[in-house]
Amino acid sequence: MRQLWRGAAIATMDGTSPWGWMADGALLAEDGRIVWVGPADAVPADARNDEVIDLHGGVLLPGLVDAHTHLVYGGDRAAEFERRLQGISYEQIAREGGGIRATVSATRSATDEDLLHGALRRARALRAEGVTTLEIKSGYGLTEADEARCLRVARAVGAATGQTVRTTALPAHALPPEYAGRADDYIDAVCTWLPRWQAEGLVDAVDAFCERIAFSPAQVERVFEVARALGLPVKLHAEQLSDSGGAALAARFGALSADHLEWLSDEGIAAMAAAGTVAVLLPGAFHFLRETKLPPIERLRAAGVPIAVATDHNPGSSPTLSPLLMIHLACTLLRLTPEEAVAGMTREGARALGLADRGTLQPGQRADLAHFDIDHPRTLAYAFGQRPTCRTWVAGRETA
């Protein structure tokens, strides 16, 4: 099966020239893989195409990669948002047993169908803005059975929407109430769950929340040791509310990414640079928690740490379903350039998931494509809230 896309500008995002820009481009794929990309007037003449997709303008980009989401949960936290605006902090709410734990109880009491229905709606909303690959974490079940249920739902999302879903086990997200005062016992239990989930094929990576309201570096390390023994890559919610040294710990385990990073230290940056750990920035949580401390963008750039951008969709700190708004906020709030922000949700997002076969438009890559009705990709960062018309293809197949 050979397909030709033409009639649009192309931004390959391959990092070798600004945007990988071609004002009038064409792209050929064979059996779902890109075999040629170039200017429209240079399409190989011998090409016999089974399908020609004339895009009638707009820009063709790599399908967006959302490398950090918590899409599977019950309930919402709109009332908590109101409380925060009455002056009670996110941390204080968490300490009182609300926050993540409120979503845990709503998730435990939701049926599988409820969880799938909610997660599907959210995944489709992401796709409507170009997302063809997304990561989904557990972390709101916090029992062996409820976490596994959430991971199964995450797998079912991918099967239903055609998007690639990478699942991440995040049982070390918060201490469940039944383990109050016994965090180390909870970590012991988590360490016994991971091998069983892996045996069931539920886990692609392991994450934890390293923070004073969550788990200590020593506790996270125990979870990471198990992940390493199982051959599973790790990533970490690190330095979101304080500097706990999480990023350096993650880097020591060769983590795919360390995420949030507002309080990241120079030692953390150096360790990430040496390990090739991607910095995943989450402007939605930064905005929604009215954070004022910026992640150290200049120093990350100077150290050559790859920077990704993700939605962090979750009910407590980032209830957004708009990856394009995150691209915008990455520019206005965090001061990324538009090209860095778009690369953060394509090439670097793929890198943060350890996926080498997508995120740019180059021969050999999967034909995961997003077409937007805009004149230039910088418009994705500029025209916030405008939601351009978008079509997506996964491995050459248009998503419905």
Assess 69 for contact with ligand NIG (CB under 6 A).
no
Assess 237 for contact with ligand NIG (CB under 6 A).
yes
Known binder of ligand: residue 240? yes
- Tell me whether residue 28 or residue 142 sits nearer to ligand NIG (CB atom): 142
For residue 35, give the DSSP letter: E
Give yes or no for a contact between 65 and 345, defined as CB atoms under 8 angstroms apart.
Answer: yes
Among 9, 34, 65, 100, binds ligand NIG (CB under 6 A): 100
Provide the mask over 144-183, with x wherever binding to ligand NIG is found by CB under 6 A and - wherever it is not. Answer: ----------------------------------------
Q: Which of ligand NIG, Fe ion, none sits in contact with 100, Cβ below 5 to 8 A by type?
A: ligand NIG
Maximal CA-CA distance, the chain: 70
Smallest separation (angstroms) from ligand NIG to the CB of 100: 4
Assess 245 for contact with ligand NIG (CB under 6 A).
no
Residue 309 main-chain phi, psi, to 5 deg: -130, 135
Which residues ranging from 93 to 152 are in contact with Fe ion (CB under 5 A)?
none
Q: Which of Fe ion, ligand NIG, none sits in contact with 12, Cβ below 5 to 8 A by type?
A: none
Known binder of ligand: residue 117? no
Residue count of the chain = 400
Distance CA(255)–CA(397), nearest Å, equals 32
Residue 272 main-chain phi, psi, to 5 deg: -65, -45
Which residues ranging from 290 to 319 are in contact with Fe ion (CB under 5 A)?
312
Give yes or no for a contact between 122 and 135, defined as CB atoms under 8 angstroms apart.
Answer: no
Among 312, 339, 340, 348, binds ligand NIG (CB under 6 A): 312
Please work out the total of residues on this chain that contact ligand NIG, with binding judged by CB under 6 A: 13
Distance CA(228)–CA(256), nearest Å, equals 12
Q: Which residues contact 321 (CB under 8 A, 6 or more apart)?
A: 122, 125, 126, 311, 313
Among 285, 305, 307, 342, binds ligand NIG (CB under 6 A): 285
Q: Which two tokens stand for residue 356?
A: 């080498």
Smallest separation (angstroms) from ligand NIG to the CB of 82: 15
Distance from first CA to last CA of the chain, Å, rounded?
19
DSSP-derived secondary structure for 7-36: EEEEE---SSSGGGEEEEEEEEEETTEEEE
Q: Which residues bind ligand NIG (CB under 6 A)?
A: 99-100, 103, 209, 237, 240, 285, 312, 314-318
The annotated binding site for Fe(3+) is made up of 68, 70, 237, 312
